[in-house]
Amino acid sequence: MLKAKYIWKNGELLEWDTVNTHVLTHSLHYGSSVFEGIRAYETSRGPAIFRAKEHFDRLHESAKLYHFEVPYSTTKLISSTKKLISENKLKSCYIRPLVFFGYNEMGIIPYKNPVETIIAAWEWGSYLGSEAIENGIRVKTSSITKIDNSMLPSQSKCSANYANSILAKQEVLSKGYHEALLLNKDGNVSEGPGENIFIIKDGVFKTPSPDQSLLNGITAQSVAQIARDLGFVVSYTTLTLEDVLTADEVFFTGTAAEITPIVELDDQAINDGTPGLTTKRIQDLYFNIVKGKKESYKDWLTYV
């Protein structure tokens, strides 16, 4: 990990190496924290945070679903992030806000513990590698079932939810694949460990609807908007593995993964086994938008 100079904690900028927490921090023991993953991209006008408001609003919603409140408003978190990026002199970065129950009492119920907030930002390239964005990835369906909405709210980016993602991802990495695909308890396609999935079939974009136990990703919402603006129909639906295997094109979306073509699932090529042309078109447009080159999408950017 490429260190930066400062991390923002509870309203202050602290030196990266000195920010710490007690080993009896509640969230270390029980996963009682919520987080975001956000990117800022280099533009001709300096760094711009992509969909900052949507990400920080979702941070508040994630906490609400676990019955607590983020102690800072979205406006304050955005201004603090801007300051952090500029003080760290970052041109582009990954931004990780985390709100967690700190140290006071031990036991499952965290509400007597202080709510602590940090924001870190550092230089981070492609999550699955630049090769992945260009040439696509090989995906394997995990034997680990996606935790159901009735068990843990999948609309919350709560750290506890990610134990499910860790298990699924490590299973397929150990078998030589790039990424996992998780099915929900009904056996339908849910999402990747940290990505949403889209298929394109006969010119129609299809993605599992939010009731399929998945995170309603901000990249996915952006891609759906871009596709509609280009005149495509986008359908939120139930997808089976067969739908994915017989699709014309398949790709993952996510802040970290950006738009990554899937060229193979469970050792079977998707179409001819190369990234699809429409996927490439959406990918190009997306990278132009995040880099501030598309005036009509400028509302999605917050300049630092």
Ligand X SMILES: Cc1ncc(COP(=O)(O)O)c(C=O)c1O
**Any idea which residues carry the catalytic annotation?**
157
Report the C-alpha gap between 231 and 144 in whole angstroms. Answer: 37
Residue in the shown chain whose Cβ atom is closest to ligand X: 217
Residues 6+ apart with CB under 8 A from 181: 139, 140, 141, 142, 189, 191, 192, 197, 244, 265
Q: What is the size of the binding site for ligand X (CB under 6 A)?
A: 13
Comparing CB distances to ligand X, the nearer of 9 and 55 is: 55
Q: Give the bridge partners for 250, in sequence order.
A: 199
Which of 70, 90, 172, 215 binds ligand X (CB under 6 A)? It is 215
Helices 74-87 & 52-65 angle (0-180, nearest 10): 120
> Counting beta carbons within 10 angstroms of the beta carbon of residue 176, is it exposed (0 to 12), middle (13 to 18) or buried (19 or more)?
exposed
Residues 6+ apart with CB under 8 A from 224: 205, 207, 234
Min CB(272)–ligand X separation in Å: 27
- The yes or no reply on residue 258 touching ligand X (CB under 6 A) is no
Report the C-alpha gap between 182 and 250 in whole angstroms. Answer: 15
Min CB(240)–ligand X separation in Å: 19
For residue 175 the two structure tokens come to 């078998």
Report the C-alpha gap between 207 and 235 in whole angstroms. Answer: 6
Q: Considering only the stretches 214-222, 232-240, 264-272, 295-303, report the one whose residues sit in contact with ligand X under the rule CB under 6 A.
A: 214-222
Which of 102, 208, 217, 276 binds ligand X (CB under 6 A)? It is 217
Look-up of token digits 């050792």: 267
Which of 32, 156, 184, 196 binds ligand X (CB under 6 A)? It is 196
Which of 31, 37, 47, 261 binds ligand X (CB under 6 A)? It is 37
Which of 31, 191, 213, 244 binds ligand X (CB under 6 A)? It is 191
Min CB(279)–ligand X separation in Å: 16
Report the C-alpha gap between 44 and 296 in whole angstroms. Answer: 16
Q: Give the bridge partners for 303, in sequence order.
A: 48
Q: Considering only the stretches 61-69, 136-144, 212-220, 263-271, report the one whose residues sit in contact with ligand X under the rule CB under 6 A.
A: 212-220
Min CB(167)–ligand X separation in Å: 13
Comparing CB distances to ligand X, the nearer of 31 and 37 is: 37
- The yes or no reply on residue 255 touching ligand X (CB under 6 A) is yes
Residue 148 has what DSSP assignment? P
Which of 7, 115, 139, 220 binds ligand X (CB under 6 A)? It is 220
- The yes or no reply on residue 194 touching ligand X (CB under 6 A) is yes
Q: List residues near ligand X by CB under 6 A.
A: 37, 191, 194-196, 215, 217-220, 253-255
